[in-house]
Amino acid sequence: MIEQVKKTSIKDIARESGVAISTVSHVINNTKFVADGTREKVMKAINELHYRPNLIARGLRTKSTRTIGLLLPDISQPFFAQVVKGIEAVARLRNYTLIMGCAFYDIEEEKRQLNSMLDQNTDGIIFFCGYDSYDHIKRVHDSNIPVLVLDREIDNKDIPSVLVDNFAAMEKAVQYLYDLGHRKIGYITFPFENQTTIRRRYEGYCSALKKNGLKYNPDFVIIDDQMRLQELKGTYAVIKQKVEEKKIPTAIITLADFLAIGAMKAVKEFGLAVPDDISIMGFNDEMICAFSDPPLTTVKQPKKLMGETAANLLIDIIERKKIENKNIILDTEIVKRETTAPPPIAKK
């Protein structure tokens, strides 16, 4: 049978160095002055016995675990993974441990995991994306556990947040296509009843049309749920059908790059050239965008920065640093590549 080797504890160090437990604690934590000689004896014992404080015991005592919880929809999606990279980097740098859970847009699952993180006494929690849902977040916030919402809009400005201005980003993108000469601009999105970030992009699209005197044409707008879990395949299938119905705008902008890449494949199979016959634009600036054929014009979200900003803000709050602004909005930028060009008519 496996037998756990007993780890050395603060007691062992105290005995070994001939001082009291509390003294050892004070040299470890620098929490009181300890005479040089004593300190050295203690350090010697610590090194010799390879002592490392038990964080669980410390956590029980201090109520601080130096742990942050991260709730997100799905780590396997590149956008999420890249943001998480930023969070992880800062957590590590600032000496926090990251606990991660994926909820796959299931709000009950999210709550379940939230509870299990709370049970672990995480020092703070990041709600990264996921469906809109307010109550459970507010409840945690109200019980004075630091929380932060990342890429997930909620009205309550009391709750710290890190967001991108999705509305402005999409408005800018559509404006870019308009300025290129496009007047039939299509939009592809998931349904967005429960996801404000996605709805904001849609509203940005609508707003840009309006600003430029363009009429909203439902034939050019695809709102479909089958794309959500299968961004590439789903979009491909949906576009295939749309193209057959001959309802084709001169430019399509999508909610996310993978939708754009799926769309591009479908469109090309119908003999349409990108961007000569139709312009296509994505959103996110995934790594792959530079290597699609042709390389995809897109809107860049500062993924790593989003993660870093969120982690830093949350940890600042946990550590009760002074916060100037707890609702941070990050900028996006259009990355022009080769899938966008003036429409065919304009060129003639």
Of the candidate residues 9, 194, 212, 217, the single one contacting DNA (CB under 7 A): 9
Q: Quick one: what does residue 31 bind among a copy of itself, DNA, none, with the CB cut-off 5 to 8 Å set by partner type?
A: DNA
Residue 323 binding a copy of itself, by CB under 8 A: no
- Rounded distance, CA 263 to CA 252, Å? 9
Please give the C-alpha separations between residue 332 and each of 128, 170, 285, 335, 343, in angstroms, as whole numbers: 18, 9, 10, 9, 25
Tokens 């709000």, residue located: 107
Residue 18 binding DNA, by CB under 7 A: yes
- Rounded distance, CA 307 to CA 70, Å? 11
Residue 143 binding DNA, by CB under 7 A: no
Residue 56 binding a copy of itself, by CB under 8 A: yes
Alpha helical stretches, state H, the chain:
10-17, 21-29, 36-48, 55-62, 78-93, 107-119, 135-142, 166-179, 196-211, 226-229, 231-244, 257-269, 303-318, 344-347
Task: Tell me whether residue 55 or residue 214 sits nearer to a copy of itself (CB atom).
Answer: 55
Of the candidate residues 48, 158, 219, 293, the single one contacting a copy of itself (CB under 8 A): 293
Residue 118 binding DNA, by CB under 7 A: no
**Biggest distance spanned by C-alpha atoms of the chain:** 91
Q: Quick one: what does residue 98 bind among a copy of itself, DNA, none, with the CB cut-off 5 to 8 Å set by partner type?
A: a copy of itself
Window 177-216: contact mask with a copy of itself (x via CB under 8 A): ----------------------------------------
Residue 325 binding a copy of itself, by CB under 8 A: no
Please give the C-alpha separations between residue 321 and each of 29, 156, 313, in angstroms, as whole numbers: 20, 21, 9
List all residues 6 or more positions away from 18 whose beta carbon is below 8 Å from its beta carbon: 41
Residue 320 binding DNA, by CB under 7 A: no
Window 80-119: contact mask with a copy of itself (x via CB under 8 A): xxx-xx--xx--x--x-xxxxxx----------x-xxxxx
Tokens 């995809």, residue located: 296
Please give the C-alpha separations between residue 277 and each of 37, 85, 111, 174, 268, in angstroms, as whole numbers: 81, 38, 47, 18, 10
Least distance from C-beta 314 to a copy of itself, angstroms?
Answer: 14
CA 37 remoteness from chain centre: 50
Task: Tell me whether residue 59 or residue 181 sits nearer to a copy of itself (CB atom).
Answer: 59
Task: Tell me whether residue 5 or residue 35 sits nearer to a copy of itself (CB atom).
Answer: 5
CB 289 within 8 A of CB 296: yes
Window 246-285: contact mask with a copy of itself (x via CB under 8 A): ------------x--xx--x--x-----------------
In the chain, the amino acid numbered 181 is G
CB 329 within 8 A of CB 165: yes
Task: Tell me whether residue 39 or residue 201 sits nearer to DNA (CB atom).
Answer: 39
- Rounded distance, CA 204 to CA 201, Å? 5
Residue 215 binding DNA, by CB under 7 A: no
The helix/strand/coil state of 67 is strand
The half-sphere exposure of 204 on its side-chain side, counting CA atoms within 13 A, is 25
- Rounded distance, CA 300 to CA 58, Å? 43
Q: Which helix (H) or strand (E) holds 97?
A: strand 97-102
Least distance from C-beta 241 to a copy of itself, angstroms?
Answer: 18
Residue 268 binding DNA, by CB under 7 A: no
Binding segment (CB under 7 A) for DNA, from list 3-11, 86-94, 191-199, 230-238: 3-11
Residue 93 binding DNA, by CB under 7 A: no
Residue 144 binding a copy of itself, by CB under 8 A: yes
Residue 48: both structure tokens together: 């010799």
CB 260 within 8 A of CB 282: yes
Residues 19-38 that bind DNA (CB under 7 A): 19-23, 25-26, 28-29, 31-35, 37-38
Interaction site with a copy of itself (CB under 8 A): 2-5, 52-57, 59-60, 63, 65, 67, 74-78, 80-82, 84-85, 88-89, 92, 95, 97-102, 113, 115-121, 143-145, 232-233, 236, 258, 261-262, 265, 268, 287-288, 290-293, 320
Interaction site with DNA (CB under 7 A): 6-7, 9-11, 18-23, 25-26, 28-29, 31-35, 37-39, 53-54, 57-58, 60-62
